[in-house]
Amino acid sequence: MNINILAIESSCDETSAAVIRDGEVLSNFIANQKVHEQYGGVVPELASRAHQQNIIPVVEAALKKSGVSKEELKAIAFTQSPGLIGSLLVGCCFAKSLALGLDLPLIAVHHMQAHVLANFIGDPKPSFPFLCLTVSGGHTQIVLVEDYLKMKVMGQTLDDAAGEAFDKTAKILGLPYPGGPLIDKYAKEGNPQRFSFPEPQIPGLNFSFSGLKTAILYFVQEQTKKDPDFIQNNRADICASVQHRIITILMNKLVKAAKETGIKEVCIAGGVSANSGLRQAMKAYSEKYGWNHYIPEFQYCTDNAGMISITAYYKYLAGEFADLTVSPSARSSMDRN
């Protein structure tokens, strides 16, 4: 068939481009923006500028690696929402210009839908219906997936996202942004039972992480009063204990959703699905509850254009194209897609 699609992701602080052919990702190029590290979080204006600098080389690298020429492309896809508006604008305007210049159709992709569909890159693939726990820096959702483009959010965070809980804990511990991968690294050497943090009692399938963040902050402040080197001397155990609590909060809700729906096909997605503890927990819970579980490859967990490309492929097959008046949106519900 040779449906070649170029996809661009620029919703936050990764500039990424990918090329997909008939559902198989041929290249997935990601440029991380180091400029935010010193600020302890993403600075939106700096992110937009870095996207502008990165986008041409990133797109060229993705095309080159795929071996697909611009003339062989069948569509141009980009992340339309949600995300930082300035960052989204860069990808959107670039994609529109390219589509106009090459006379190709344009495909607008929802970032959270794309995280879920990252589970369709490679094998094995989940079968419908399935549940997806999508855990990123901006979102925490339990999604009921009925078809490639038919998804319903069953529960979500009322305040901080799971990734934010990792990042804010890292900040409390004096670790740089993004803190999730570092907490994961230190947690491997620590004792998850050493310190006990509270599990919030939120009804239904919603989550809350802001209380946990406050509990960690007060705990660390108290201990540091007694021992100024508390963090330094106990870093691995603190990281392991916090990570353990975040994972149990997530997994307990996933178990609840699986029981309520009777669904045993279960996926995870989003930046936090790169966490080694969460990946292990998925395996352990799957054995316990008889689930078939699916986890995207590392490069498709954190923000990447590969996941935008696979979503664009299914949208292409469904004939869902955008016109040149399309504009990005900082927030939008996935259910309406």
**Can you give the binding site for Zn ion, defined by CB under 5 A?**
136, 303
Residues in the chain: 337
C-beta closer to ligand KG4: residue 110 or 315: 110
Residue with tokens 């498709």: 300
- Under the binding rule (CB under 6 A), the answer on residue 302 touching ligand KG4 is yes
Q: Which of residues 130-159 bind ligand KG4 (CB under 6 A)?
A: 136-138
Burial 179-204 (b: 16+ CB within 10 A, else e): bbebbbebbeebebeebebeebebee
Structure tokens at 151: 């998804």
Position 91 contacts ligand KG4 (CB under 6 A)? no
> Which CB, 195 or 316, lies closer to ligand KG4?
195
Residue 184 is a binding residue for ligand KG4 (CB under 6 A) = yes
* In the complex, minimum distance from the CB of residue 87 to ligand KG4, in angstroms, rounded to a whole number: 11
**Per-residue contact track with ligand KG4, 259 to 278, x per CB under 6 A?**
-----------xxx-xx---
- Token pair, residue 66, equals 């795929």
Question: Phi first, then psi: what are they for 125, rounded to 5°?
Answer: -105, 145
CA distance 115 to 320: 18
Smallest gap from Cβ 164 to ligand KG4, in A, equals 6
User: Residues near 56 by Cβ (< 8 Å), separated by ≥ 6?
Assistant: none
The runs of H, that is alpha helices, within 19-161 are: 44-66, 85-102, 111-117
> Which does residue 86 bind out of ligand KG4, Zn ion, none, counting CB within 5 to 8 angstroms by kind?
none
Piece of 85-93, 162-170, 199-207, 259-267 that binds ligand KG4 (CB under 6 A): 162-170
Cα–Cα distance, 311 to 78 (Å, whole number): 10
Task: For 99, list phi and psi in degrees, rounded to 5.
Answer: -65, -40
Whose Cβ is closer to Zn ion: residue 180's or residue 190's?
A: 180
What is the C-alpha to C-alpha distance for residues 58 and 52, in angstroms, rounded to an integer? 10
Name which position in 126, 178, 190, 296 contacts ligand KG4 (CB under 6 A).
178
Closer CB to Zn ion, 4 or 10, in the complex: 10
User: Would you give the distance in Å from CA 75 to the centre of its chain?
Assistant: 24
Q: How far is the CB of 137 from Zn ion (least distance, A)?
A: 7
Give the interface segment with ligand KG4, choosing from 73-81, 174-182, 194-202, 284-292 (CB under 6 A).
174-182
Residues that bind ligand KG4 (CB under 6 A): 12, 136-138, 163, 166-167, 178-181, 184, 270-272, 274-275, 302-303
